[in-house]
Amino acid sequence: MTFSRDEKRLNHTQNPYFDFEYNKDFGILPIPKRLRYYPERHFHFGLSLNISFGFASTFVVANLYYCQPLLIQFSRSFNVSYNEVSRIPTLLQAGYAGGILFISPLGDLVRRRQLVLLLVLLSATLTIGLAVTSSLATFEALSFLVGAVTVTPQILIPLAADLAPPDRRATAMSVVLSGLLFGVLLARVISGIVAEFVTWRVVYYLAIGVQYLVLLGLYLVLPDYPSKNQHLTYWKILWSMAKFSITEPLLIQACLINLASSACFSNFWVTLTFLLGGPPYNYSTLVIGLFGIVGIFGVAMGPLVGRAIDHLVPWYASLLSITCLIIFQSIQVGAGGINISAVIISTLGLDVFRQMLQVSLTTAVFAICASARSRLNALLILSLFIGQVMGTSVGTEVFVKYGWRAGAALSLGWYGFQLIILMSRGPHCERFTWLGWEGGAEARKSVVDRRKNENKRQKQDVEPGVPVKEKISLNQTASEASNTSNGPDSIGQRTR
């Protein structure tokens, strides 16, 4: 497909998404022709591209977790105390939180292909510094920066939602999320095994090579997609996030549930180490570490979970998830410290349905405004971070003071809180309805979509006596009004 320069300029004038400069990355590297954006052509978001997104997420997010099994070697290598090297994981997580808040919202403002390539390039290059430095202060500073640019998965998830067909949206996001969770598990295993036989620096050399391979792979498969919200600035993007956080009932509901769910998840995995290491189990560190392999089952179930969510109204997927989480947590409360089979069953169930809950909440929130998905995702992930801190600190305190059953019961109480928050706002409430139940109780997504399309057509119909030209004009006006009410400038408006 070729255009003359005049045709390109004309198309760019008529459609701001068409830019005749979009044939190069950063104005230097040519974009492969099959990946260039044209308004009249839609990208095919197939399984191979979806898996590529998940693969990239795996080896980018691993940056945050390589260090955890290496802290003792860091202490010896830098000749400092354990207390000093314990700051490294905190700095990585702090940088990641800052990146989510200030970098990932750029996905709603700039071309995401270039943003993703730049972030992976920066994370791989900064990792070189981690591998070669002999200064703890430099290592800590670079750790913070690496954490900040390791937000690629949080840009790929909204991009997958934009590229995937509506009936496969949850599945697409589940694959990327599964890749992210697999990276969390894989990083700890790889770094622990490699560092057992060679120096910890080899772990980071391996990370450098893998990230540059990811960079090359993304360059060859990541489609170019036009920037959204070209009328906004970076500061307006941040301000709109603040507005979202206080004016969108569905977002606030999802964040509260996500916060409590993340607290339960963190509480379970942190206190599980104490439970298995003490009586009656008294397992070794190696055996306790093998329980992380059980988490791979939950990761593997991700695409199937997403497929189930695609057929349900997200609210009902969340209800099913919370109900099952309560059941499996009850098993842990009743027998977690008595029989190891109860712990294994609880681990399997909590992993699968925690992932299902997160995908269903994300799917629901992304429907609020298609042009603001990166910002909405950033707010959801921030709530997840707050929940992790709460679950780790409060859960550990309760476990140490009152024992394993009290710690497990704490999570059961948090699951009850999630159920109350979910039930306070029904599955079909209007966008700005804060509490209550309206719109029926249909759970099948296909039926709800069909009803919405029928209602939309009925609203656009006019009386038979109206002239055709006027009918067309009315339909265009209704369409424009709909687009305006769903756009980023409608934040905080009360439309019925």
CA–CA distance, 21 with 8 (Å, rounded to integer): 9
Check whether 478 has a pLDDT greater than 50: no
Mark whether 34 and 48 lie in a shared domain.
yes
Mark whether 251 and 399 lie in a shared domain.
yes
Total domains in the fold of the chain: 2
Instruction: Give a yes or no: residue 242 inside a domain.
Output: yes
Angle (nearest 5°) at CA 97 between 241 and 432:
25
Confidence label for 286 from pLDDT (cuts 50, 70 and 90): low
Instruction: Give a yes or no: residue 15 inside a domain.
Output: no
Q: According to the model, what pLDDT value does residue 460 have?
A: 66
Instruction: Give a yes or no: residue 467 inside a domain.
Output: no
Instruction: Give a yes or no: residue 99 inside a domain.
Output: yes
How many residues are present in the chain?
496
Find the range with the poorest average confidence among 194-208, 315-329, 377-391, 482-496: 482-496
pLDDT digits (tens, 9 = 90+) for 37-69: 877 777 788 888 989 999 999 999 999 888 877
Mark whether 225 and 237 lie in a shared domain.
no
Could you tell me the residue range of the domain that residue 225 belongs to?
A: 24-229
Check whether 465 has a pLDDT greater than 60: no
pLDDT digits (tens, 9 = 90+) for 320-365: 999 999 999 999 998 888 888 888 888 888 888 888 898 899 989 9
Mark whether 418 and 320 lie in a shared domain.
yes
Mark whether 325 and 438 lie in a shared domain.
yes
Q: According to the model, what pLDDT value does residue 9 have?
A: 42
Check whether 174 has a pLDDT greater than 60: yes
Confidence label for 289 from pLDDT (cuts 50, 70 and 90): low
Check whether 21 has a pLDDT greater than 70: no
CATH number at residue 252: 1.20.1250.20
Mark whether 136 and 83 lie in a shared domain.
yes
pLDDT digits (tens, 9 = 90+) for 121-168: 999 999 999 999 999 999 999 999 999 999 999 999 999 988 888 888
Exposure string for 61-92, b = 16+ CB within 10 A, e = fewer: bbbbbbbebbeebbbebbeeeeeebeebbebb
Among 229, 259, 281, the domain-final residue is 229
Q: According to the model, what pLDDT value does residue 18 have?
A: 44
Is the CB of residue 60 less than 8 Å from the CB of residue 155? no
Mark whether 76 and 188 lie in a shared domain.
yes
Mark whether 238 and 216 lie in a shared domain.
no
Mark whether 248 and 222 lie in a shared domain.
no
Average pLDDT, the chain: 82
* Chain center to CA of 401: 34
CA–CA distance, 424 with 411 (Å, rounded to integer): 20
Instruction: Give a yes or no: residue 493 inside a domain.
Output: no
Check whether 473 has a pLDDT greater than 70: no
Among 183, 208, 229, the domain-final residue is 229
Measured from the Cβ of residue 3, the count of other Cβ atoms closer than 10 Å reads 13
Instruction: Give a yes or no: residue 473 inside a domain.
Output: no
Mark whether 290 and 358 lie in a shared domain.
yes
Check whether 116 has a pLDDT greater than 90: yes
Q: According to the model, what pLDDT value does residue 151 have?
A: 93
Q: According to the model, what pLDDT value does residue 431 have?
A: 86
Check whether 172 has a pLDDT greater than 70: yes
Average pLDDT over residues 276-293: 74
Average pLDDT over residues 468-494: 42
Mark whether 125 and 184 lie in a shared domain.
yes
Mark whether 206 and 255 lie in a shared domain.
no
Among 170, 205, 229, the domain-final residue is 229
Check whether 6 has a pLDDT greater than 70: no
Contact partners, residue 319, CB within 8 Å, separation at least 6: 419, 422
Instruction: Give a yes or no: residue 111 inside a domain.
Output: yes
Instruction: Give a yes or no: residue 128 inside a domain.
Output: yes
Check whether 470 has a pLDDT greater than 80: no
Confidence label for 218 from pLDDT (cuts 50, 70 and 90): very high
